[in-house]
Amino acid sequence: MALPTIQTSRLSLRPLAEHNRDDIIDLDSDPKVVKYVHSGRPLTREEAIQDHQERLSACRQIPGLGYWAGYLDDTFIGWAALSPLQSNGGTFHAQKAEIGYRILPRFWRRGYAKEMARELLRYGFEELGLEAVIGQTMAINEASRATMKACGMQHVRTLYVEFEDPIPGSEDGEVEYAITREEWLELQLHSK
């Protein structure tokens, strides 16, 4: 199953492709964008290309799940993901996914991450029949936490992980948010 192009009221979510490589390099080399991911530092060109290839590979793990490039008209603004969730044993959950997003700073504070995330939740629950979707971020990443909350996701736990080269703020932990299909459907009933 190829990833569909998904339209929101303002954005076009197109399956992430090889031709998005330069967009991804721009995104992942921006210090503001990667402040709470990787090692908290901009990626080199080579690291960004490797990450891009890993995202493209992830798109082939579970049909219907993957990464989308977000466009405002024909301008790349970032990506959003409904990516396969891997268990500790290395297998992928067919009925659970992880949501994520990364936006270029000039497009922040316009609601685009929320718009993409809400539409991917709808797609995941209505079209793919997922049972649950999770999202993770550093506890100090208030913007990402607010996006997940605005999508109806609930904080379920805080994880404390030791890193070789910790990012400032990592001592506060990483938070996980989740929403089940039933919770999402209930929210849809009350929003009409």
pLDDT of 137 above 70 = yes
pLDDT attached to residue 68: 96
pLDDT attached to residue 1: 65
Q: Which CATH superfamily is domain 6-190 in?
A: Gcn5-related N-acetyltransferase (GNAT) (3.40.630.30)
Arithmetic mean of pLDDT, 156-173: 85
| Banded model confidence at residue 49, pLDDT cuts 50, 70, 90 | confident
Q: In terms of pTM, does the model score above 0.85?
A: yes
- For the chain, the domains span 6-190
Tokens 């001592």 found at: 171
Please write the tens of the pLDDT for every residue from 52-84. 788 878 767 788 999 999 999 999 999 999 998
More confident residue, 50 or 14: 14
pLDDT attached to residue 192: 66
